[in-house]
Copies of this chain bind each other. A is one copy, B any other.
């Protein structure tokens, strides 16, 4: 199966070049030189495959797949539903999306279709069936790529009607919905499910439960459409795996809802490398977080489905990947569990919205072009590390990042409409592990947690059903739990809990309750003052954005506020609950705090590090393991030369070079090594 090696390739759109057969031939040569072994076809091919209604033209695709396969290039075959033909939009206007202003879009753009429309579903079924029947058993096709970057929402009458049914299925009675959405506020009690409209600027935006359920419904319609898309495919051949490519930090849909329906996870990684002074640590952390999020969906290797060979064209400023960055970013993906480096796109488009997006083969291709050579270099590397495709990552730490929780936080008015800082605090927690070379899973509240030693849930504002009792068992059985301000405030429908907060079991597990929470302006601050030393933490750490006033019940106070009217009130606490411990941090503090805290907690909990090595800021070491064999990924994301002391002999698996005692890392250096022996054991 394809996963026995590393994939290298990307989106390829030969339908743009059918009039240039010499280009198509040349492309294969260039791909082979760059050790490309796999391309994604058909993503934007619908109008080339069905140029008129019911008129299908697969011949060109037959030939492309065949030629590629002859040249040992596999095909990831896409369903073309991400962008539909113009004729279809014009003939069946109902398939065009309706924005929240209730105005139907014109044809154009991507993802401009209604997920509910029976006609669109039917059209998708027809083309998918035909694709499946024609290519579903073709050995060249190793994976189905369902649609493309699923996104957006539709407010048409069909969707409104479906939404009402969805609500009825969820709440059973309108009274129950009124209770959960608290519609009596502003006198908006519904008498019937049919009275409900999706949120709109010119309608209802202040009903948190409605907005939240609408977002859930949109995810479910998207998943439902996706499931309908794979039916004809799986019917022909259930053995070819399916995936769909996710987008970095896109929160329009909850990707976790896809996890049981995809065979392998995949995503499109476009970090903003080189947007600053040369130190790429922050960009690396953001990207690593999302790699881990996607890997955690299936808890097994994933595919990097898109990245740019060098620059994007749709950002504020188009920066090229500087020398070594493409290798660095590619090895980062592998280090976090990717089994592929795929590009958008193989050959540059001559026109339209992304014509200036870097491609493996530019319109002005020359063999000596730097971008092309960077790609070829990564092709070489991937070929040499094919065995790593079987290697996996098994973290003992989980960070809870729940998109529905983010929705609920973002929808709520207060306590800080100037930015609630959810991602910021997630990244600060995460970076401490990244810097300490400790692997992390990034999971949602619905995921099983019993096998972790440490679970961190920053701003666990919304408590999904069962989450707090899961945490309770986890701590009771010896787990360590860390939570923070704004946790346990609302239920799944964004309805405030009554009584002590954090709600449900959380207050007891944490041994505290909160009295109030307030926002700080950007130029206001407070501090966390440690009472003595704890886990290496001592003295004072800055606090910003949000401050919660908390009181302890059974918890021990570790730190207190340094100023304002809640000076000396607790801000950082620990509570012992049966066999475990639960921490609470009542404010947003700084990176140093988390670095020290988690480093010592992990040591205390005997949480396995990737390697027993201290790395300077901006350098991280990842690990993937297969049976007895460990692969180490040593990466310097800074633009400084640094050195790390090696307690082991490491062997660079790309060229068998041996490192001992000390490893010097030039800016953006990246090594993949195996470990020989601990030096002291030599």
Contacts and interface: CB of A to CB of B under 8 A. Distances in A.
Contact of A496 (B19, B109, B350, B520): B350
Interface stretch (A65-73, A202-210, A535-543, A578-586): A202-210
Kindly name the residue among A110, A205, A413 whose own CB sees the greatest number of chain B CB atoms within 10 A.
A413
A51 B192 CA distance: 11
Nearest to A498: B363
Interface string A37-52: 0000000111110011
Residue of A44, A207, A414 most packed against chain B (CB within 10 A): A414
A99 B201 CA distance: 11
Given A357-B414, A415-B311, A186 B106 contact: no
Copies in the complex: 3
A295 B550 CA distance: 40
Contacts of A516: 310, 320, 369-371
B319 A518 contact: yes
A206 B353 contact: yes
A567 B607 CA distance: 45
A190 interface: yes
A425 to B, nearest CB: 17
Contact of A109 (B186, B312, B313): B186
Interface stretch (A85-93, A432-440, A644-652): A85-93
Interface string A352-390: 111111000001101001110000000000000000000
A591 B80 CA distance: 51
A184 B15 contact: yes
B414 A186 contact: no
Contact of A183 (B105, B209, B322, B352): B352
A296 interface: no
A317 interface: yes
Contacts of A371: 516
Contact of A412 (B45, B185, B355, B565): B355
A116 B46 CA distance: 35
Interface string A600-614: 000000000000000
A410 to B, nearest CB: 13
B313 A414 contact: yes
A181 B80 contact: no
Interface string A479-494: 0000000000000011
A489 to B, nearest CB: 9
A87 B191 CA distance: 7
A287 B292 CA distance: 51
A515 B191 CA distance: 65
Contact of A352 (B208, B320, B323, B498): B208
Interface in A1-28: 13, 15-16, 19
A203 to B, nearest CB: 3
A282 to B, nearest CB: 15
Contact of A108 (B102, B188, B319, B357): B188
Given A182-B355, A208-B355, A86 B188 contact: yes
Given A48-B189, A197-B106, A350 B417 contact: no
Contacts of A197: 106-108
Contacts of A179: 19
B108 A205 contact: yes
A499 B187 contact: no
B414 A205 contact: no
Contact of A351 (B353, B416, B495, B515): B495
A200 interface: yes
B417 A317 contact: yes
Contact of A318 (B13, B314, B315, B415): B415
A244 interface: no
Interface string A502-534: 000000000001111011110000000000000
Contacts of A349: 182, 185, 496
A83 interface: yes
A182 B515 CA distance: 61
A182 B416 contact: no
Contacts of A102: 106
A497 interface: yes
A501 interface: yes
Interface in A283-323: 310-320, 322-323
Contact of A187 (B46, B191, B417, B500): B46
A418 interface: yes
A352 B416 contact: no
A564 interface: yes
Contact of A313 (B195, B314, B415, B500): B415
A221 interface: no
A104 to B, nearest CB: 8
A222 interface: no
Contacts of A520: 317
A587 to B, nearest CB: 14
A275 interface: yes
Contact of A364 (B87, B498, B565): B498
B370 A187 contact: no
A186 B187 CA distance: 46
A92 to B, nearest CB: 13
A348 interface: yes
A353 B318 contact: no
A589 to B, nearest CB: 18
- 7 interchain residue pairs of minimum CB distance: A182-B351, A108-B204, A106-B203, A313-B414, A206-B353, A356-B414, A317-B519
Given A83-B188, A348-B496, 11 more contacts: A84-B187, A85-B189, A86-B189, A99-B202, A182-B352, A313-B414, A318-B519, A350-B495, A350-B498, A355-B412, A366-B515
Interface of A: 13, 15-16, 19, 44-48, 51-52, 80, 83-87, 90, 99, 101-103, 105-110, 179-191, 195, 197, 200, 202-209, 275, 310-320, 322-323, 348-357, 363-364, 366, 369-371, 412-418, 493-501, 513-516, 518-521, 549, 564-565
12 contacts: A44-B187, A107-B197, A107-B203, A107-B204, A109-B186, A181-B352, A313-B414, A316-B417, A317-B417, A317-B519, A322-B564, A364-B498
